[in-house]
Structure 1
Amino acid sequence: MSRFRGIWQASLNATKKALTWNVDDWIPPAEKYIFNFSSKEELKKWHLYSDAEFGGLSSASLEIKDDANKSSGVFSGNLSRDVTEGTKWNITRSGFCGMRSKKFDGFIDLEAYDTIALRIKGDGRCYISTIYTENWVNSPGQMEDNSWQSFVFVPKDNWYIAKIPLDHYLPTWRGNVIEAKLEMNPSRILGMSLSVNADGGVPGANSGPGDFKLEIDWIKALRTQ
């Protein structure tokens, strides 16, 4: 077979293959695992933070719980409004803890999805789900990622799947909502976090200083439409 005829045949075969593709081959799966808290190895993808970094007295831990051949993550600790006497930090508020994922290797693209789902067992407190995206909202020169936040609240002591539409996440800067009409870019997600505050939250949720505990099975992206 001549070189020209070989190129022509390869092109013809590729065209035939393209024409026989099913439309389903172009559609992403209906759900995508982002985090699965099934082993201690998964915990290496996260780090903890709290007001203790700034002179506060709150504390947190993240562990794996094994129960009847099923593992889950346990984010727990204690919230305190107190601050260390004589601290050098001019802390304006205390009583918060969080777990933040380490940055992804590049970005994860959730453009094809419209909802974040978390399978969790709560303690009656309200938690905050945060998505971090590439910085395009903050002022030039600021190195902080953009953050988008939504409350997460489920009834106490039972497993539930909490679903949060992506368009329910509000743009925030250092915990304060940005009063501007902005849209998240779900194709440039850098990381996520879950956090809890002693104050605030949704009506009916427990609040105040004291112990907290949130069990987490997985976090997924869903396509519901």
Structure 2
Amino acid sequence: MSRLRALWQASFNATKRALVWSSDDLIPPSERYIFNFNSKDELKRWHLYSDSEYGGLSAASLEITDSTAGPDTSLTGVFSGNLSSDMSEDSTWRIRRYGFCGMRSKKFDGFIDLDAYDTIAMKIKGDGRCYISTIYTENWVNSPGQEEDNSWQAFVHTPQDRWQILKFLFRSDPS
């Protein structure tokens, strides 16, 4: 029954998108922000996680700070993590891989139509280390054995103490 419900929901959402349109559907803007850390309210759109959920001692945080670069002042989202390879003594979990922190956008109602675009870009500044970025998309129809969202991953090498725009190209074919 859950597959039938998923199919019905996907059909309903597609119909709703077809009926509700804007001028952006005719001529989309050259750039579109999906997430923009320009207010403290943006923090509510993110879920932070770490191995502390499983008895680890790592911790994650996200805050909005003022970024000053000469005459330009803007707000910036700052994610940070304190990684620990230790486990709390009273942990009942028996995990082997610990020492992780992350952030994930919360699911939201609506649909982000990116058909007119071929790239997702992220403006980042980091500590010079390598991380993994994962983009999840909701399945329209769940097939047997695949009950979760689709995901795409890329390694992200962060520049140390300088801003860089990273671009991830969409591919319409598997080659």
Whether the 8 Å CA contact 1:118–1:162 is kept in 2: the answer is: yes
SS of the counterpart of 1:44? helix
Query: Which SS does the other structure have where 2:52 is aligned?
Result: helix
Q: 1:94 to 1:36 in 2, by over 3 A?
A: same
> Gaps spanning 5+ residues in structure 1: where?
1-23, 168-180, 184-225
Greater strand proportion: 1
- Which whole-Å CA distance do the structure 2 matches of 1:164 and 1:144 have between them? 22
Work out the CA distance in 2 between the residues paired with 1:67 and 1:76.
16
TM value normalised by structure 1? 0.58
**Cα displacement (A) at 1:38:** 1.2
2:100 to 68, 72, 96: 96
> What is the match of residue 32 of structure 1?
32
Equivalent in the alignment of 1:19: none
Post-superposition offset of 1:139: 5.8
Aligned equivalent of 1:116: 120
Amino acid at match of 2:153: Q
* AA aligned opposite 1:38: N
Alpha-carbon separation, structure 1, partners of 2:109 and 2:141 = 22
Q: CA deviation at 1:138?
A: 7.1
RMSD over aligned Cα atoms: 2.6
What pairs up with 1:1-225 in 2 under 5 angstroms? 26-68=26-68, 69-135=73-139, 140=144, 143-167=147-171
Alignment partners' CA distance in 2, 1:137 and 1:94: 34
**Could you tell me how far 1:117 is from its partner in structure 2?**
0.5
- 1-side partners of 2:140 and 2:25: how far apart? 33
Give the whole-Å Cα distance in 2 for the aligned partners of 1:31 and 1:109.
13
The 3 A distance-change label for structure 1 pair 137 and 55 is farther
CA distance in 2, matches of 1:137, 1:84: 41
Native 8 Å contact 1:138 1:146 kept in 2: no
Residue deviations 1:84-119, cap 9 Å, x none? 234222213111111111112133121221111111
Contact 1:46 1:101 in 2 (8 A): yes
**TM-score computed with the length of structure 2 as normaliser:** 0.73
Cα distance change, pair 137–96 in 1 and its aligned pair in 2 (3 A) = farther
- Which structure: larger Rg? 1
Query: Identity percentage over the alignment?
Result: 71
Q: Separation in 2 of the partners of 1:25 and 1:117? A: 21
Matched residues, number: 147
1:154-200 alpha-carbon deviations (Å, 9 max, x no partner): 32101111111134xxxxxxxxxxxxx969xxxxxxxxxxxxxxxxx
